[in-house]
């Protein structure tokens, strides 16, 4: 895919996402043996996007993509949520108060599944259970290796 075309595609997708209050997470073209050329687009809305948001976004961007010069090859348009497995940047933790996160700490690669209670510039407070006992701790961002969405069963 020509770099100019890819840049134009990303610009169109980002502009429409911004207008709708969505975040454009990632865009890529790839060739799949089964489907051929695929334009894969990931969008989110503060980690709370729903199918209606994705459908509306798809309806609005599809005709705009058709107008991009140089995008002449046929392709499959695949738009979906940002995905629960993506890494969460520290600055987004404040958007996830009340949600569970899978937290990997730098020290010993210790892993926690914890609910975010609060967040500030330096870190965040979480609530989790150890052997049935509730524990609340403040974690500094500098001590955290990775954050992902967590799900409590």
The model's pLDDT over 98-118, given as tens digits with 9 standing for 90+, comes to 999 999 999 999 999 999 999
At 94, list the tokens: 């404040």
Tokens of 104: 């990997």
> What is the rounded distance in angstroms from the CA atom of residue 58 to the CA atom of residue 78?
9
Range of the domain at 123: 90-149
CA–CA dist 1, 37 (Å, integer): 10
Residue after which a domain boundary falls, among 21, 51, 81: 81
Give pLDDT tens digits for 84-103.
Answer: 788 999 999 999 999 999 99
CA angle 149, 98, 141 (to 5 degrees): 60
Domain harbouring 136, CATH code = 2.30.30.100
Q: What's the CA gap between 13 and 2, in Å, rounded?
A: 17
Question: How many domains, in total, are found in the chain?
Answer: 2
Alpha-carbon distance of 2 to 102, in angstroms, equals: 38
């Amino acid at each position: 895919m020509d770099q100019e075309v890819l840049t134009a595609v990303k610009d169109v997708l980002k502009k429409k996402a911004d207008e709708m209050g969505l975040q454009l997470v990632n865009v890529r073209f790839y060739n799949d043996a089964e489907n051929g050329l695929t334009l894969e687009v990931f969008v989110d809305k503060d980690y709370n996007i729903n199918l209606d948001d994705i459908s509306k976004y798809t309806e609005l961007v599809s005709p705009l993509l058709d107008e991009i010069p140089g995008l002449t090859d046929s392709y499959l348009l695949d738009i979906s949520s940002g995905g629960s497995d993506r890494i969460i940047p520290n600055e987004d933790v404040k958007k996830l108060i009340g949600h569970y996160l899978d937290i990997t700490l730098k020290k010993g690669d210790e892993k926690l599944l914890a609910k975010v209670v609060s967040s500030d510039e330096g870190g965040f407070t979480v609530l989790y259970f150890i052997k049935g006992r509730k524990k609340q701790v403040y974690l500094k961002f500098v001590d955290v290796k990775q954050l992902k969405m967590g799900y409590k069963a």
